[in-house]
Amino acid sequence: MKVAMYYNNNDVRIEEMPIPEIGDDELLVKVMASGICGSDVMEWYRIKKAPRVLGHEIAGEIVKVGKNVKKFKEGERVFVSHHVPCQECKYCKQGKETLCDTLRSTNFYPGGFAEYLRVPSINVEKGTFRLPDEMSYEEGVFIEPLGCVVRGMRIAGFKEGQSILVIGSGISGLLHIKLAKALGAERIIATDINEYRLKKAREFGADLALMANAVKKKNCMADFVVVCAGVPSAFEQAFKCVEKGGVILFFAPLKPGIDIPFPQFDLWNKGVSIFSTYAAAPCDIEEAIELIRSGRVRVKDMITHRLGLEEAMHGFQLVAKAQNSIKVILFPHGKP
């Protein structure tokens, strides 16, 4: 089978690998659509394990079922989580599944940018979900990223009627805008350094979308501030724009070793709460599936590029440049 092998952001090669053999408790899934995530082009994060097949936003069809698997059958359309929790450790029992060591060590093989992948038994049991009949494969690509957004807004306690400031209007920021609108946000403000993305933010529900350097000139204070840009200035902006009694959600990470000024007295005096989030748990995935299925969060209008697997290098460059693209999807078996 063909795979897109990642070496760095400017070197993604189409290579051949054997179709994976599966065990008695496993599945073989034909990958029909696979999204390129912003984390896939975080070179400082990915290059440490290169070369490897990346890709974790996938939807596909089960083509082979291990003899012990009873939950699924050949021909079913599925979304598969790459990370799954054990549901037994102290973190899982406290509802903090994304801190689970099992979740952070599980994966399917070889990765989503391949024609086929092997789903290990734990992912079969705890991380494989049937796609609703109403959902296309390309919509299924959004289940994982929307699940991450669902989790972040849930653990940080976003409430109907709150104002929200989204700092960074890439795919994660835009999904926050769409979800905030669906959840009844009173006012949605978006920032970015790219006018194309600000235009999309307005289209997707932002009441105000402006360049990041213009925030000081506008009333951008908000009850709920989410940082979706991994640059120090975004975090500093969040500290300045959160209302009294408000919440800051760190959705994007900074590169390890980068420290930012922390106005502790101001945040303490204003009674600000700070949360961080990583990944999605099964309950978040289930909610994301229902949000997409019901149409409460529309995602098809976020797709800007549909590419064949052989165009993976172009897709990675589009996402890395972060200019005139939102969601780039690879179709290992041909574009629809």
Antiparallel, parallel or unpaired: β 52-53 and 327-331: unpaired
134 has pLDDT over 80? yes
State how far the Cα of 113 lies from the Cα of 58, in Å rounded to an integer.
9
Per-residue pLDDT of 238-292, as tens digits, reads 999 999 999 999 999 999 999 999 999 999 999 999 999 999 999 999 999 999 9
pLDDT value at position 47? 87
The secondary structure of the chain in percent helix, strand, coil, rounded to multiples of 5, reads 35, 25, 40
What is the average per-residue pLDDT within 87-105?
97
State how far the Cα of 89 lies from the Cα of 110, in Å rounded to an integer.
27
Is 131 in contact with 191 (CB distance < 8 Å)?
no
Instruction: State the alpha helices, DSSP H only, in 221-306.
Output: 232-241, 264-270, 282-294
State how far the Cα of 146 lies from the Cα of 160, in Å rounded to an integer.
18
State how far the Cα of 121 lies from the Cα of 131, in Å rounded to an integer.
19
Delimit the domains of the chain by residue range.
Answer: 2-147+280-331, 157-276
Strands in 163-167's sheet, in edge-to-edge order, are 208-211, 187-192, 163-167, 222-227, 242-250, 273-276
pLDDT band at 218 (very low <50, low <70, confident <90, very high): confident
Percent of the chain with pLDDT over 70: 100
pLDDT value at position 138? 98
Classify domain 2-147+280-331 at the CATH superfamily level.
Answer: Medium-chain alcohol dehydrogenases, catalytic domain (3.90.180.10)
pLDDT value at position 276? 97
203 has pLDDT over 90? yes
The Cβ of residue 296 has, within 10 Å, a number of other Cβ atoms equal to: 13
What is the average per-residue pLDDT within 61-69?
98
Between the alpha carbon of residue 53 and those of residues 116, 148, 257, 304, 312, the distances in Å are 12, 21, 27, 23, 11
45 has pLDDT over 90? no
The mean pLDDT value of the chain amounts to 96
What is the average per-residue pLDDT within 123-138?
98
109 has pLDDT over 80? yes
Give me the CATH topology for the region 157-276.
Rossmann fold (3.40.50)
The Cβ of residue 19 has, within 10 Å, a number of other Cβ atoms equal to: 15
Per-residue pLDDT of 169-182, as tens digits, reads 999 999 999 999 99
Amino acid making up residue 308? G
State how far the Cα of 166 lies from the Cα of 207, in Å rounded to an integer.
11
What is the average per-residue pLDDT within 206-233?
92
Can you list the positions of beta strands (E) in the chain? 2-8, 11-16, 27-35, 52-53, 57-65, 77-80, 116-119, 128-130, 163-167, 187-192, 208-211, 222-227, 242-250, 273-276, 303-308, 327-331
pLDDT band at 132 (very low <50, low <70, confident <90, very high): very high
pLDDT value at position 148? 98
Is 79 in contact with 289 (CB distance < 8 Å)?
yes
The pTM score is 0.96
pLDDT value at position 333? 97
Question: Length of the chain in residues, anyone?
Answer: 336
Is 121 in contact with 25 (CB distance < 8 Å)?
yes
216 has pLDDT over 90? no
